[in-house]
């Protein structure tokens, strides 16, 4: 039976690289995959999953209105899909996560999602919360804090490197906007009152 997987990590842990490696492994064996990425992430070419080490692949962009199950099943009717891979899974809606679970449960299609667990305030994203509730397998991809401990939090910073504790949950950025930290250094950077919004 197919499963729904959630690979989660802080920023800059190699989530997209892992996804692209998984995609390559399927394709190398002659199996078709279907890749999705968040339309809101426009740091690189639209409809492309790009890793910091230079790997990239075309993907179907999704937003809150995208019916992921319908997209997959439409393509699956014309070409057997061996696996569905979703980057930036934190931006999924709860309904979309339910659609992905249905692909695994009813249509026997493995679905592997990659994303952040928490935002810059330490709060869960909607997609991540639903994946933590529904996924058959939860896999943490490790990243390292400046102190050498495991980084689990995403600190948002301004142009001068100062911590930002308020603002919209979603603000696209990379190393220029976010620093992966352990919980201790995240809390220290924001101050006790800043954690959790």
Q: What is the DSSP string of 132-191?
A: HHH-SEEEEPP-B-TTSSBP-EEEEE-TTS-EE--S-S----STTTEEEE-HHHHHHHH-
Distances from the Cα of 64 to the Cα of 17, 90, 122, 168, angstroms: 24, 12, 22, 17
Q: Does the residue 154 lie in any domain? A: no
H or E stretch at 112:
strand 111-116
**37-44 long-range contacts, CB within 8 A, separation 24+:** 37/61, 37/62, 37/86, 37/87, 37/88, 38/62, 38/63, 38/87, 38/88, 38/91, 39/63, 40/88, 40/91, 40/170, 40/172, 41/88, 41/91, 41/172, 42/172, 43/172, 43/173, 43/174
Dihedral pair phi/psi, residue 169, rounded to 5°: -60, -40
Element (H or E) spanning 94, and its range? helix 94-107
Residue 87 labeled ligand binder: yes
More confident residue, 157 or 137: 137
Instruction: Tell which residue, 178, 176, 156, 159, has the closest CA to residue 167.
Output: 156
Q: Is 147 within a domain? A: no
Would 82 be classed as within a structural domain?
yes
The gap between the terminal CA atoms of the chain, to the nearest Å, is 40
Q: How many domains does the chain have?
A: 1
pLDDT tens digits for 141-176?
999 998 999 999 888 877 777 777 676 666 655 556
Share above pLDDT 90 across residues of the chain, in percent, rounded to a whole number: 57
Is 10 known as a binding-site position?
yes
This prediction has a pTM of 0.86
118 located within any domain: yes
Q: What average pLDDT does the chain have?
A: 87
- Between CA 18 and CA 20 the distance in angstroms is 5
Q: For position 20, which CATH number holds?
A: 3.40.50.300
71 labelled ligand-binding: no
Active site residue 193: no
Residue 109 lies in a domain: yes
195 domain-assigned:
no
pLDDT of residue 87: 94
CA distance 138 to 44: 28
Residue 101 lies in a domain: yes
From the list 88, 140, 166, 193, the catalytic residue is 88
Q: Is residue 106 part of a domain?
A: yes
Query: What is the average pLDDT across 115-136?
Result: 93
Instruction: Name the residue range of residue 104's domain.
Output: 4-142
11 belongs to an annotated ligand binding site: yes
pLDDT tens across 172-188, in order? 555 567 888 898 988 88
Which pair of structure tokens corresponds to residue 122? 């330490």
Tell me how long the chain is: 197
């Amino acid at each position: 039976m197919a499963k729904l997987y959630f690979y989660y990590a802080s920023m800059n842990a190699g989530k997209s690289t892992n996804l692209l490696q998984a995609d390559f492994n399927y394709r190398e064996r002659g199996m078709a995959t279907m890749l999705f990425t968040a339309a809101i992430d426009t740091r690189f070419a639209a409809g492309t999953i790009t890793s910091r080490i230079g790997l990239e692949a075309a993907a179907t962009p999704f937003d809150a209105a995208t019916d992921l199950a319908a997209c997959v099943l439409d393509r699956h009717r014309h070409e057997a899909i061996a696996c569905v891979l979703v980057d930036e899974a934190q931006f999924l809606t709860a309904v979309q996560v339910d659609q992905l679970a249905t692909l695994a449960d009813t249509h026997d299609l493995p679905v592997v999602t990659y994303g952040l667990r928490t935002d810059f305030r330490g709060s869960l994203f909607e997609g991540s919360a639903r994946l933590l509730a529904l996924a058959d397998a939860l896999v943490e991809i490790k990243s390292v804090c400046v102190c050498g401990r495991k980084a689990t939090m995403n600190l948002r910073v301004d142009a001068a490197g100062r911590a930002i504790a308020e603002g919209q949950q979603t603000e696209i950025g990379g190393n220029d906007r976010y620093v992966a930290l352990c919980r201790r250094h995240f809390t220290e950077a924001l101050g006790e009152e800043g954690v959790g919004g």
